[in-house]
Amino acid sequence: MTIATVDLSRIDNKPVADYLASTDRRVTIGVRFALEMFGLEVPDFLKRKPSGRSSVGALMAALDADTGNPNTYRHEKLGIGAFAPRR
C-alpha cells in the first residue's frame, strides 16, 4: 500500500468554506464523510453543531450578553441582585 500525505490547507481555506456554505447540504455531508472516513481532521466550518434545541438558559444568556442588561436571567432564577427578596 502506498502512503500519501494530504495537504489539508487546500480544504481548510476561505474559498472552500464559502463554496461549501452556499452549496447543497448533501455536498457538505459528503465532504465531511470523506474526511472522517480517511481519518483526516475536519475543519471547523464542517464540524456539526450539537443536535437538539438550545436550553432556555443558554438562549437567555446569549440575549443578556447581546443587550448588556445587568439584570440577567441567571440572577432572576437564583433570586440575586435586583431580583433578591425585599426585606
- 54 shares its domain with 84: yes
The parent domain of residue 58 ranges over 50-87
Cell of 20: 461549501
- Give the DSSP H or E segment for 27: helix 25-37
- 20 shares its domain with 41: yes
Tell whether 2 is covered by a domain.
no
pTM across the whole model:
0.53
DSSP annotation of 19 reads: H
pLDDT in tens, 54-85: 788 888 888 888 888 788 888 888 888 887 77
- 33 shares its domain with 62: no
- 56 shares its domain with 83: yes
Tell whether 3 is covered by a domain.
no
- What lies within 8 Å, CB to CB, of 38 at 6+ separation is 6
| Domain count within the chain | 2
